[in-house]
Amino acid sequence: MPSYRCLSSIPSPSSSYCPLRFRPVDADAIPAINRFLQLYKSRSCDFSLGGIYMWADYFGYEYCVARDTLFIKGISADGSRSPFFAMPIGPHNLADSVNAIKAYCRKKGIGILFSAITEEGLEKFGPLGATEVTELADWADYIYRAEDLAMLSGKAYNKKRNHVNRFMTDNPEWVLEPLKGKALDDAREFFAGMDSDSYSLMAEYERKQCANILRHYSLYPFEGAVLRGNGGKVVAFTVAEIIGDTLIVHIEKMNHDVSGAGESINKLFAAEMLMRYPGLKYINREDDAGDPGLRKAKQSYHPAAMLRKFNVTL
C-alpha cells in the first residue's frame, strides 16, 4: 500500500505544507485506519471500521495519513455532492490539522465543512473560527449501558424479558454461536433469503453492504454471533466491533416471524461480550436515520445517552 505519511510537521497555510493526498478507502487500508480508531477511542459509530467501511461507497470516503494524523474526506449524499471532512485523528494540535485541510480546500476551490462532529469535538472548533454549526438530529447515536442490555433488569424492561422468555420457551434447543466457520456460512445463507425491510435507496445500499461485510468478514476485527432456534435453524445474527469501552453494533438481523428472536440476540450477545470483555461499559446501537419505526425500537431499550453530532463550517 502506498504511503502518504509526511515526515515534516503540518504548518500553517501561509507557509509550505505537506499536501494532503487522498485515496479511496479499501481493504488494504484497514490496518492503518483501525490503528487510529483504536487510539482515538471515540464512542461515535462514525469513528469505527464498520461505520466507515459500510458507508464508504455511499459517502465516497477517502483517507490520507499525514504526519501520523488520519484525515477522512467524503461527499454529501443530499444531492449537493458537497465535500466534507471528519474530525482529524492524531497526536497534534487540531489547528495544525485544520490548516492542512484549509490549504487542501483552497487548492481545490471547495468550502470547508466538517461533518458528524461530536459535542466533545465541537468545543475544539470554537477557537478555529467556526462560522456555522448545524445539529444532525437524525444521526445521533443511541448509547446504552452494557449491563442494562445484558441483564434487562427492572420494570422498564419487563416486555423485553417476556419476549426473551417466550423465545427460550418456544426454542428449548436455542444456542448462541460465534460468527465463524459454519455459523458464518449459515448467516450468509440466512441473510440472502431475507426479504428487504424497506425499498428506499439507503435501505437497499445498507442491505448490499451487510452482504459485503459477511462476504469479507475475515478481513475485519469484528465480533459477531449467530442465534439458532429449534433444529439448528438460524433465527438471527449480529456484527459489532469494540472501540475502547464501547461495543458498536453495526448489523443485527432477525427472522421477524420467530417471536423474541431480536430481543434474544440483543440480550445474549450483550451478555456474552460483557463476560468476555469486563471493561465494556457501553453499547452503541447507532442512529435511527430519522426513521420513526427504528426510532421507536431504539428508544424502547431506554438509552443512557444520545451522542449528538454536528456539521461545522469554517
Q: What is the CATH number of the domain that holds 49?
A: 3.40.630.30
Residue 87 lies in a domain: yes
| pLDDT > 90: percent of the chain | 85
For residue 9, tell me if it sits in a domain: no
- Of 87, 106, 139, the position where a domain reaches its end is 139
pLDDT of residue 15: 40
Q: Per-residue pLDDT for 125 more than 50? A: yes
**Mean pLDDT (whole number) for 9-14:** 38
Based on the domain organization, do 104 and 167 belong to the same domain? no
Given the C-alpha cell 485506519, which residue does it identify?
33
149 and 274 share a domain? yes
Q: Are 116 and 179 members of one domain?
A: no
Q: Residue 42: which domain range?
A: 23-139
* Percentage of the chain modeled with pLDDT above 70: 92
Query: Count of domains in the chain?
Result: 2
- If you average pLDDT over residues 97-119, what whole number do you get? 95
Q: What length does the chain have?
A: 314
pTM: 0.92
* Residue 11 reports pLDDT greater than 70: no
Mean pLDDT value of segment 274-298: 96
Q: What is the pLDDT of residues 160-214, one digit of tens each?
A: 999 999 999 999 999 999 999 999 999 999 999 998 766 678 888 999 999 999 9
Lowest mean pLDDT: which of 8-22, 30-44, 291-305? 8-22
Residues 147 and 243 in one domain: yes
Indicate whether 307 belongs to any domain.
no
Looking at residue 202, what is its pLDDT? 80
In a domain? residue 300: no
Shared domain check, 169 and 54:
no
Mean pLDDT over the full length of the chain: 92
Co-location of 168 and 254 in the same domain: yes
Whether 65 and 111 map to the same domain: the answer is yes
Q: What is the pLDDT of residue 76?
A: 86
Same domain, 95 and 145: no
Is the same domain home to 117 and 157? no
Same domain, 40 and 63: yes
